[in-house]
Structure 1
Amino acid sequence: MGKVKKATRKFNQKHLKGELERRNKNKKAQQLAKKRELKKKRKPSNDPTEEDEGFTGIEEVDDLAEFAESSLKGADSDISKFVESDSEEADGSNDSTDSENISALLDDDDDDENSDPSEDEQDEADLDNDNDEEETFKKELEAMKEKDPEFFEFMKKNDPNSLKILEQNSEDNKSESGDSEAEDQDVEMIDTNVAETKESPVGMLVTIKMLDGWEKEIKRDHSIKALKKLLLAFYSASHMESENTGSSGAVYHIEGMRIFNKTISTTIRVVPAAFNHLAPIVNGKLDKKASKKWTVMQALIKSYLASLLELLRQMSDAAMIQYLIKESERMIPYIACFVRYTRDFVKEFLRLFGSPSADDGVRILVLLSLQQLVLLAPSEITDMALKGIYLTYVRHSNVKNIASLTTIQLMRNCGVELYGGDAKASYQHAFVYIRQLAIHLRNSMQLRNKESFRAIYNWQFINSLNFWTEVLATYCGDRAEEQPELCATLESLVYPLTQIILGVARLVPTAKYFPLRIHCLSQLLRLSSATGVYIPVLPMIIEVLESPEFLSRRPIKSTLKPLMLDSHLKAPREYEHTRVYLEVVLESIFGLLADAFASQSVRIAFPEWCVPAVLQLRRWRKRVGKSWTRFSKQLQGLLEKIDQTSYLVQQKRNKVEFAPSNLAGANKFMQETSPEETPIGIYAVSLRKIRAQQRATLVEAEVEG
């Protein structure tokens, strides 16, 4: 007997009985029709069109269509699974469950490449033309028991109703032939064979010899049989910790870490190469047309992806997680073919991305995998990835200590990289979330109570502003020439984001929240220097210097250790009004002053632009310089660098030949000179290096402590 496809077997198991009843009715109707035709033949007829036509199968197709419609209306319908089980699944909307994947792997037919693809079609045609479907199905079940008792046992556990047809056929044969004893003996022999085949109550034990044999067959002959067996063993290994492993139809059983590691390493090393041979990847995408066995291969790919996903969920070791993510990256063209598994992998990648136990290497690998998935998967996956990575970053952006700043910075950089792919999707998400921040700020400004202020003055809100600041500064400034379309799309969001940051900085203008204001000023300077958009930051910096904390109030002496403002949004109660706290604030303010002047140091109007700020700084130095001697000297050095830069710009400006009304020429002034090459720019870079060294020292001390 020829081999039978899995789809035919499923149909026989679930729908054959009802279909046979309908065919019997059709046969009776056909017999009546033939009798009528015979009566007509007895009478002479002059109409040449009245000929005895043979059965074309149209009636049978119509009945099957009615069956499909009626079944789809029912609550317990499975006809859609049958129809789509072997169809090409581009969107993966009806992906099979793990039990169905195992059922596909348990199919022990000869599916190797050397088989003739036309044999399946010929066998189906023979089955369709068979006048006695009940007898054929009975023979198939008996042959399946003898040839593949493992699948029979799996079917007996998971779908016992499908075997009732065999019992009914046995009763019919006993009533017709009277040979009930022979039938009972056959059933007992089949049950005995099944019992003998089952090595252990949890499945056949996997050995190293078996794994080596499967690996040789796959590499040498590209055997799909061996590939199925290896995937079944891989499934058992990945579900070792699951409670329902024994009842999930697992054929193989893994015992010991040695066998477990051997199974995992062998599968991950061999299976992707086998998939690439049987279902090749062309130009980074899966070419289904080049695969002659795609119907079979998609079930195998699903099984491998499900097992790999389960392993990712169970692993806690960072090195092992990195290894599995790298292997998952090799399977991305296959993952992108099934939307269900694409969603599952994106969710798992995002979970690992935000896991506190994950290291930097895991997060970078997750970013690379998500970037590839976004390129191959449909737009809904792109939206899911962009939204997921931003929300994951926000959930885990609460700064607890100095060491957590590095992790948050890395997560922010990864999110910014992912937003550089699709310009349209990036703009939509950026617009929605920036608008959301604006709504929160508006509500807080209207209510003006402690609860509304807490909704704004927290690390999640500030780090959200940091995220979108970095996105706009990167793609509208640093990398604008690389992606002009993305720059043109996101550029309109610079103004609303600037207004939000300004509103947050001035919401509670008290000395306790100087650290938060410094964070906001840093964001504005980053945005202004990268995009070239002028933002009036200097007045807000000087507001801090002219606060009563420095001008009229005498600071409290304290022996507290210096405060690291990077990890604080407000001053702790014991630091308020102390000299230690105010000295740290002054150091940060002078660094911001240097950065603000440096960002405008190559502008043609720099000598005139800096005059008001220079006058206020000299006035401040004259009034409180004696109380802050160290900072008075530092401010004197800053003012000298500003004067040197003004002199440099004036010398360059004296050589120009265009008028002040020539805006194009003014914008190109000193275009070849970097702001970091001017005297004030060199001074600002040196201050940034000192702050970076101090921060690194504090991080190391905290990690060691």
Structure 2
Amino acid sequence: MKSKVQKKLTVNNKIKKPIDTKNGKIMKNKKIGNLFVAKKVADQEFENEENIIDNTNEFANDIDEEEEEDEDNETPVVNKVAVKITTKTLKQWEQELQTDKSSKIIKKLMDAFHVVAINILKSKKVSNLPYKIENSQVFNGIIELCIQHIPGVLKKFLHIVHDAKFEASKAKRFPKIKNTLSIYYTDIINILQTVTSPDVLTILLKHLHCTIQCTQSFPALNEALFSVLIKLWSSDEEVVRVNAFMNIIKITTTYKEAILDNLLKAMYSKYNEIAKNMTPDNFDCINFMQQSLAEIYLLDHNLAYNHAFMEIRQLALKLRNATIQKNKENIDAVYSWEYLNSIRLWSELIKNTKKQSVIRSLLYPLVQIVTSLIKLTPTSEYYPLRFHCCQLLINISQKTGTFIPVLPYLLEILKFYDFNKVKNVIVAEKMSFTCMLKVTKTQMQENAFKNSIIDNVYQLILEVATKDSNAIYFPDMYINCIMELKSFLAKCQVPSYCKKIKQIYDKIQENRQFVETERNKIIVDLSDSATILNWELTLKTRGTPLQKFYDTVSNQKINK
């Protein structure tokens, strides 16, 4: 009978085909078995990885003094009859792991894990296996031993030094375990390709992270390794995608010259695949992929510039086609989540670079694309898209310190949309635009549509004004905004809408008076940009009326 812990695990029989551990060929999918590893052990191993490395040196001299003879040859000893592993065997191995500094115990444990992997993957019967497993307790015990001890044993055996760009293949004792280690990593990759349980995937990814550097000594495994890591990086489960990314970033920071270009292309392709549709279910995943992919791009600014330049150029060409020929096909090509999420990725990259970076030169063309996208079809059905674009521009402006005019695109809505028109359809109080680019004609007839427009205009104007609230030009820059808001209040007949806009109107007026009062206290030389910047920073540190109001509103939203 299967144990309870085995029954908890789920599997997927249609995942990528596993690698044959003997000849590197792709095997046919087979039904997967059960896997159990103590999660507590894996977490402890993951957290204590640096401690294991730091304790390596005390074993170095002892290992160098020992010279294994025949028992360390890579040629496996084929037993006519497979040795049965018992709980007593596992206890003996655990003791040997503490005392035996040769490769012998490593081979024993990895050979046993190979038998476990064959059972998990349900591969066709393999002859001449050195061990056999007959109960679930031993099955789980082997995996637990590997998770708990393999990272530390490998670090001691191969003399892995902390913070070093370690290459396992150059270690003196690496040839003694080369084939065994290759099969071990192949087994882990095969299991990662097949298992669907988030808990099991997390445990294996944490385990892999501890010795991920050693995988680069087996170039033949790279394609399969990165393929499965990128697949898991796009997982719906947060803990899985985070741990997959930690493995990716650890490899790229150490071996980026050899793998970064191809890795970025593969990750960008996967990002585009996932980002074609935005739903509440994958919203967090797409945001994580944006931020993490931008982080990897920032490892090499020149390479990132080349990738970003080509992709931004393609975005511009698509937008030009839609502007010249406004047919449905061209419009749909740019008014899509794939297009907008591509813009979001490159904006995430650009806004996290310093002014002197070559990537920053792509800021202007990207902003031009966003503003042109707003102007392409400025009708009310595409207001959700407009709000997404305005939010992008605000974020870019705030992070880069670049002035980008956003207010006109928001005030235009207050000027031209008829908020007094009665909507007869009442389905909900508000409509979320988070995962929407356009609304249908039916949705436009809902009262919730008007409510959401006002909420978004209010929120975005507040963000823009708060961003500029400490600027020395604020009183003059926001004269037109005050006039437009006043005009809206004069014609709007909906009390709840007037209340919101009047609130933001009053706060902007209060901030204008505050900045003007502070500005009158000093003599300003407009050519002295350093003095002006210092004055603005001082004002920001003190806090402006708009900043304080924005913080209050944000806290209220969080509490809700």
Normalized against structure 2, the TM-score is what?
A: 0.82
User: Are 1:610 and 2:478 counterparts?
Assistant: yes
Letter in 2 for 1:368: M
Matched residues in 1 for 2:520 and 2:361: separation? 36
DSSP 3-state at the match of 1:565 = coil
Q: How far off is 1:425 after superposition?
A: 2.6
- Contact 1:354–1:392 (8 Å) recurs in 2: yes
User: Are 1:213 and 2:84 counterparts?
Assistant: no
Matched residues in 1 for 2:434 and 2:557: separation? 10
Q: Closer, same or farther in 2 for the Cα pair 1:117/1:249, shift >3 Å?
A: closer
User: Are 1:682 and 2:548 counterparts?
Assistant: yes
Q: Closer, same or farther in 2 for the Cα pair 1:510/1:355, shift >3 Å?
A: same
Residue aligning to 2:234: 354
- Contact 1:515–1:568 (8 Å) recurs in 2: yes
Q: How far off is 1:372 after superposition?
A: 1.0
Specify every segment of 5 or more residues in structure 2 that has no aligned partner in the other structure, as ranges: 1-18, 25-62
User: Are 1:578 and 2:446 counterparts?
Assistant: yes
User: Are 1:396 and 2:277 counterparts?
Assistant: no
**Aligned 1:174-253 pairs, distance under 5 A:** 198-199=80-81, 203-242=82-121, 244-247=123-126, 250-253=129-132
Which shifted more, 344-353 or 665-674?
665-674
Residue aligning to 2:34: none
Residue aligning to 2:182: 302
Q: How far off is 1:118 after superposition?
A: 10
Matched residues in 2 for 1:605 and 1:654: separation? 12
- Contact 1:278–1:291 (8 Å) recurs in 2: no
Identity of aligned residues (%): 24
Residue aligning to 1:559: 426
Residue aligning to 1:649: 515
Matched residues in 2 for 1:599 and 1:664: separation? 19
DSSP 3-state at the match of 2:320 = helix
Q: How far off is 1:119 after superposition?
A: 9.9
Matched residues in 1 for 2:446 and 2:68: separation? 84
Residue aligning to 2:137: 258
**Aligned 1:147-162 pairs, distance under 5 A:** 151=78
Matched residues in 2 for 1:497 and 1:676: separation? 34
Of structures 1 and 2, the one with the larger relative CO (CA 8 A, separation 6+) is 2
Q: How far off is 1:113 after superposition?
A: 7.1
Which residue of the other structure, out of 400, 407, 421, is the alignment partner of 1:538?
A: 407
Q: How far off is 1:393 after superposition?
A: 2.7
Letter in 1 for 2:338: Q
- Contact 2:294–2:348 (8 Å) recurs in 1: yes
Q: How far off is 1:328 after superposition?
A: 0.7
- Calculate the aligned-residue CA RMSD, in Å: 2.9
Q: How far off is 1:689 after superposition?
A: 4.4
Residue aligning to 1:381: 259
DSSP 3-state at the match of 2:434 = helix
Q: Closer, same or farther in 2 for the Cα pair 1:570/1:686, shift >3 Å?
A: farther
Letter in 1 for 2:540: S
Matched residues in 2 for 1:257 and 1:676: separation? 65
User: Are 1:527 and 2:396 counterparts?
Assistant: yes
Q: How far off is 1:340 after superposition?
A: 3.0
Listed one character per residue, the Cα deviations across residues 7-60 of structure 1 (whole Å, up to 9, x for unaligned) are xxxxxxxxxxxxxxxxxxxxxxxxxxxxxxxxxxxxxxxxxxxxxxxxxxxxxx
Letter in 2 for 1:615: M
User: Are 1:423 and 2:297 counterparts?
Assistant: no
DSSP 3-state at the match of 1:528 = helix
Q: How far off is 1:240 after superposition?
A: 1.6
Q: How far off is 1:642 after superposition?
A: 1.1
Q: How far off is 1:618 after superposition?
A: 0.8
Matched residues in 2 for 1:592 and 1:305: separation? 50
Letter in 2 for 1:456: V
Letter in 1 for 2:470: V
Q: How far off is 1:607 after superposition?
A: 0.8
Listed one character per residue, the Cα deviations across residues 152-179 of structure 1 (whole Å, up to 9, x for unaligned) are xxxxxxxxxxxxxxxxxxxxxxxxxxxx
Q: Closer, same or farther in 2 for the Cα pair 1:400/1:336, shift >3 Å?
A: same
- Contact 2:347–2:396 (8 Å) recurs in 1: yes
Listed one character per residue, the Cα deviations across residues 214-273 of structure 1 (whole Å, up to 9, x for unaligned) are 333343122323322221111111122445442475333333332221111112322222
User: Are 1:597 and 2:465 counterparts?
Assistant: yes
Matched residues in 2 for 1:250 and 1:380: separation? 36
DSSP 3-state at the match of 2:535 = coil
- Contact 2:111–2:180 (8 Å) recurs in 1: no
Specify every segment of 5 or more residues in structure 1 that has no aligned partner in the other structure, as ranges: 1-95, 102-111, 124-143, 152-196, 695-705
**Aligned 1:15-164 pairs, distance under 5 A:** 98-99=21-22, 116=67, 151=78
Residue aligning to 2:8: none
User: Are 1:339 and 2:219 counterparts?
Assistant: yes
DSSP 3-state at the match of 1:671 = helix
Matched residues in 2 for 1:344 and 1:672: separation? 54
User: Are 1:318 and 2:207 counterparts?
Assistant: no
User: Are 1:470 and 2:348 counterparts?
Assistant: yes
